[in-house]
Amino acid sequence: MHSPLLELCPRLGRVLRPLPLVERPTAVQPLARLSARLGGADLWVKRDDRSHPDYGGNKPRKLAWLLARALGRGHRSLVTAGAIGSHHAVAAAFFGGRAGLRVCALLTPQPVTAGVRENLASHVLLGTEVRLVQDAGHLPAALGREMLRRTLAGERPTLVAPGGSSPVGTLGCVEAGLELAAQVRGGRCPPPAAVVVALGSGGTAAGLALGFALAGLEAPVVGVRVVPRSWLPPILPRLLAHATAALLARHGLPSALRAAARLRLEIDDGQLGPGYGHATPAARDAIERLREDEDLELEPTYTGKAAAALLDRATRAGPRAGPLLLWHTFSHEPGPGRGAAPGTHLRLPPEFHRFFGPDPAPRNDDR
């Protein structure tokens, strides 16, 4: 399968080649009706929601590299973490299971929505071993204990960071940045004045910024914060980009270190609202606008807040803002839990049953 990153860094391909999980390039499309509604703004979208026909979004890009490394090293199980509605955890179970790995996800509470329940039901149908960790601050220790337990049991587990945001996982987002740069050179879209993307675990924004720097694309990446600063201090995405650049340099691409020194990466703190998993009025408005004008499905925890930041920039600056591109990271296709039979959640460990009380918030408040 064609890999723009391996074309740039062929020595990396001698030790690691991504699994063919991504149907690339994903399309770049103008948001023509929305642009007209805003009085002449020039808005675009990168359709990573269609990165895979069964379960898209930004996660297949990271997992293509992470699973390839796990399989190459002979691992037999995968341990990861996220919130109870985490789409990363579902994607890890979906693609990890297809690759023949047993998947364990340590999950922490978040505001309960219909989408959260669907993702928990997905874990039942995918056979994920789920564990509830009451406080996100306890995840590092819980992950360490789980890895030790499985190692002692002879499972040869691999640890995948929350969101897949490690240097290896971030390679998939570097590749995505190279992909957009090629589309700009090919005339598929104008050079963006900014690329707006949700900022959760940081890997997508860090990888895009590094990929743009490698390709000479001058667009800044605007990471729209959806988690508290205590979860993701502002320095961490840059540190992740530098660690990914160091990985590439070790495999014959020293220019990655120079690229990392000129990253254009900004963080927009204005859309978080009450916290992770809490919808905001601006996010809900952005979701309705993109659904009505462009037939795009977003969700309020990640892509809705990123779209709200995009609309805020376009509204404040008008046409002089230049072309603005939204990187769409929410899967176009739902997980298997969308069609789960009533009572599926009863097959979860008992500690998860409390998340299935009456009257959840609307669907897709999670990722």
Going residue by residue through the chain, which has 367 residues, state the pLDDT in tens, using 9 for 90 and above: 689 999 999 999 999 999 999 999 999 999 999 999 998 899 999 999 999 999 999 999 999 999 999 999 999 999 999 999 999 999 999 999 999 999 999 999 999 999 999 999 999 999 999 999 999 999 999 999 999 999 999 999 999 999 999 999 999 999 999 999 999 999 999 999 999 999 999 999 999 999 999 999 999 999 999 999 999 999 999 999 999 999 999 999 999 999 999 999 999 999 999 999 999 999 999 999 999 999 999 999 999 999 999 999 999 987 788 999 999 999 999 999 998 999 999 999 999 999 998 765 555 444 4
My answer on whether 241 and 275 are in the same domain is yes
Domain boundary among 138, 164, 190: 164
My answer on whether 91 and 226 are in the same domain is no
Q: Would you state the pLDDT for residue 364? A: 47
Dihedral angle over CA of 296, 302, 304, 310, nearest 10: -100
My answer on whether 13 and 91 are in the same domain is no
Q: Would you state the pLDDT for residue 319? A: 79
Q: Distance between CA 26 and CA 104 in Å, rounded?
A: 30
Find out whether 203 and 163 touch, Cβ atoms under 8 Å: yes
pTM of the model: 0.95
Question: Is 258 a domain residue?
Answer: yes
In total, how many domains does the chain have? Answer: 2
Non-local (6+) Cβ contacts of 31 within 8 A are 43, 44, 45, 290, 293, 294, 326
Question: Is 354 a domain residue?
Answer: no
Question: Is 344 a domain residue?
Answer: no
Handedness of CA 271, 273, 276, 279 (dihedral sign): negative
Find out whether 273 and 111 touch, Cβ atoms under 8 Å: no
My answer on whether 105 and 217 are in the same domain is no
My answer on whether 48 and 197 are in the same domain is yes
Question: Is 338 a domain residue?
Answer: no
My answer on whether 158 and 199 are in the same domain is no
Question: Is 286 a domain residue?
Answer: yes
My answer on whether 190 and 302 are in the same domain is yes
Q: Cα 144 to the chain's mean position, in Å?
A: 23
Q: Would you state the pLDDT for residue 2? A: 81
Q: Which domain holds residue 238?
A: 4-58+165-327
Question: Is 183 a domain residue?
Answer: yes
Amino acid at 232: L
My answer on whether 18 and 126 are in the same domain is no
Domain boundary among 139, 164, 189: 164
My answer on whether 210 and 291 are in the same domain is yes
My answer on whether 187 and 301 are in the same domain is yes
Rounded to 5 degrees, φ, ψ at 311 are -65, -35
Q: Would you state the pLDDT for residue 361? A: 56
Determine how β-strand 194-199 pairs with β-strand 221-225. parallel
Find out whether 264 and 218 touch, Cβ atoms under 8 Å: yes
My answer on whether 43 and 170 are in the same domain is yes
Q: Distance between CA 8 and CA 199 in Å, rounded?
A: 26
Which three-class secondary structure string do you get for 57-113? CCHHHHHHHHHHHHHHCCCCEEEEEEECCCHHHHHHHHHHHHCCCEEEEEEECCCCE
Q: Would you state the pLDDT for residue 1? A: 65
Rounded to 5 degrees, φ, ψ at 338 are -60, -35
Question: Is 20 a domain residue?
Answer: yes
Token reading at 274: 């009450």
Question: Is 232 a domain residue?
Answer: yes
My answer on whether 68 and 186 are in the same domain is no
Domain boundary among 164, 181, 205: 164
Q: Distance between CA 194 and CA 325 in Å, rounded?
A: 6
Q: Would you state the pLDDT for residue 363? A: 53
Q: Where do we find the tokens 């927009």?
A: 268
